[in-house]
Amino acid sequence: MTDNPDVIVIGAGPAGYVAAIRCAQLGLKTLCVDKWLNTEGKPSLGGTCLNVGCIPSKALLQSSEMFEQANLNFAEHGIKIKGATIDLEAMMSRKDKVVNELTQGIAGLLKVNKVEFVSGTAKLLTENRVAIVPTVGEKQVLSAENVIIASGSSSIELAAAPLTEGLIVDSTGALSFDEVPERLGVIGAGVIGLELGSVWRRLGSEVVVLEAQDSFLSICDQQVASDAQRTLKKQGMDIRLNSRLRETNIISSDKRQVEVVYEDDKGQHKEVFDKLIVAVGRKPNTDHIAEHAADLVLDERSFIHVDEKCETSLPGVYAIGDVVRGPMLAHKGSEEGMMVAELIAGHHAEMDYDLIPSVIYTHPEIAWVGKTEQQLKASGEKYKSGIFPFLASGRAKAQGDTSGMVKVLASEETDRVLGVHIVGAHASELVAQAVIAMQLSASAEDLMLTVFAHPSLSEALHEAALAVDNRAIHIAAKRGR
């Protein structure tokens, strides 16, 4: 290890490796430490997102969607496939290949940018010193003028549903089933629960999702959430709200199963599942990130306290990604890494936390940026809205996928776009147009005056903006307001 680097980055997930690369690009001698090892015991960069999160889940979502389309949708396009079956082993192998290629790609990027990488663990000590224990080799203590903590997060475990290998699993385990469960239970109707539930439902599982909250996707605009809930229910996903987990019991008969006891307004109920996924959120990995004497300040939920520039209570020590406030999103962590690198190099940098897009990769996808209608109502801000359904989109009709809508919220006084909410095919791609518009302080009229290609799904954003002032062309009735 190089003595006295300019920057030590703890963690090589989407926040850490991006920060390390940008620091090196800015001429800073950078050392990055990460402990993740693959099943072969080799370093595997990319953190949770790449190894057991965003990327493998999207690979399985893509594969499972193609399987469902082959069975349910191809015939209407004149493509007839009889008896499409699943080779789950091949599907998992493809997923692992995608992950492996991308992790190797990150290792190559660090090397090309001259970031020194150390496989091992790291702990912050006093005076910006870091104790590093390599996977191979002896412990070493290094000093750096700047330290960036990007140690990520882990799945929250429930005492009422202790993880049991192959039976009660977290999101990591749910990405590696060796067979399709007949009945699958999911605790938590959040992003992870809905995405993983979607994968296995498409592959043939009967999926029951138990959610403690009494509203579906309370973080979303509720009109969009309701539309998504109806579609998921129509697809066969059984989502039970206001259902609080009480206990789980392992049943051993012909095959091991898990009995789930939950409670709702009508009393206690029992369900038996072949597999149970616990997806109730994530917690920051801060338990062992710093010695007590370092006086690193954490909040009541164990997130590292930082200012608007992601600097901690300790001068020269920054924290980014899942270990700090804000949504636990890979792109949010990456942008924080870029910002902090620029600041360390003495440049001006800032980040707009109000314009971080969120996406749920179900089908239809759900994506949004900015404020929801319920937030605007609660704040008393006067607004107007426009909605355009994909049912009226020529491109959506041609694709045979017309579920969902685009919703635009704009200020009644200034016409500035305040929020855009999308449920529909490729919402994850469409929302980027809204982010760009809002980053440039666009008004609904600006979107109205923008020329969108025809036929395209993006025209729905144009029409929703027109609908803000009841000017939409391709819907028969006035909408919005």
- Alpha-carbon 6 to chain mean position: 31
Instruction: List the end-to-end C-alpha distance of the chain, in Å, as a whole number.
Output: 61
User: Which pLDDT score, from 0 to 100, does residue 479 have?
Assistant: 46
Query: How does DSSP classify residue 458?
Result: T
User: Which pLDDT score, from 0 to 100, does residue 83 have?
Assistant: 86
Q: In what order do the strands lie in the sheet with 383-389?
A: 358-360, 365-370, 417-424, 405-411, 383-389
Q: What are phi and psi of 464, to 5 degrees?
A: -65, -35
In angstroms, the CA 155 to CA 281 distance is 6
Residue with tokens 């893509």: 62
Rounded to 5°, angle at Cα 72 from 66 and 78: 95
From the list 469, 437, 406, the residue with the least C-alpha distance to 223 is 406
Question: What is the SS3 assignment for 285?
Answer: coil
| 439: Cβ contacts below 8 Å, ≥ 6 apart | 352, 355
H or E element in which residue 200 lies:
helix 191-202
Sign (positive or negative) of CA dihedral 262, 264, 266, 272? negative
In angstroms, the CA 27 to CA 17 distance is 16
Q: Per residue in 286-323, is it b (16+ CB within 10 Å) or e — as a string?
A: beebbeeebebebeeeebbebeeebbbebeebbbbbbb
User: Which pLDDT score, from 0 to 100, does residue 1 have?
Assistant: 78
In angstroms, the CA 195 to CA 207 distance is 12
Mean predicted confidence (pLDDT) in 105-117? 98
Mean predicted confidence (pLDDT) in 133-142? 95
Residue with tokens 């001429």: 27
Q: What is the pLDDT of residues 34-55, one digit of tens each?
A: 999 999 999 999 999 999 999 9
From the list 477, 447, 457, 342, the residue with the least C-alpha distance to 406 is 457
pTM score: 0.96
| 406: Cβ contacts below 8 Å, ≥ 6 apart | 387, 388, 390, 420, 421, 422, 424, 430, 460, 461, 463, 464
Residue 240 has pLDDT above 50, yes or no: yes
Catalytic residue numbers, as ranges: 454
User: Which pLDDT score, from 0 to 100, does residue 255 have?
Assistant: 81
Amino acid residing at 107: A
Mean predicted confidence (pLDDT) in 289-313? 97
Q: What is the pLDDT of residues 156-209, one digit of tens each?
A: 999 999 999 889 999 999 999 999 999 999 999 999 999 999 999 999 999 999
**What is the pLDDT of the chain when averaged over all its residues?**
96
| 118: Cβ contacts below 8 Å, ≥ 6 apart | 1, 31, 32, 33, 34, 132, 134
Where does the pLDDT of residue 394 fall: very low under 50, low under 70, confident under 90, or very high at 90 and above?
Answer: very high
Where does the pLDDT of residue 4 fall: very low under 50, low under 70, confident under 90, or very high at 90 and above?
Answer: confident
Residue 477 has pLDDT above 80, yes or no: no
Where does the pLDDT of residue 82 fall: very low under 50, low under 70, confident under 90, or very high at 90 and above?
Answer: confident
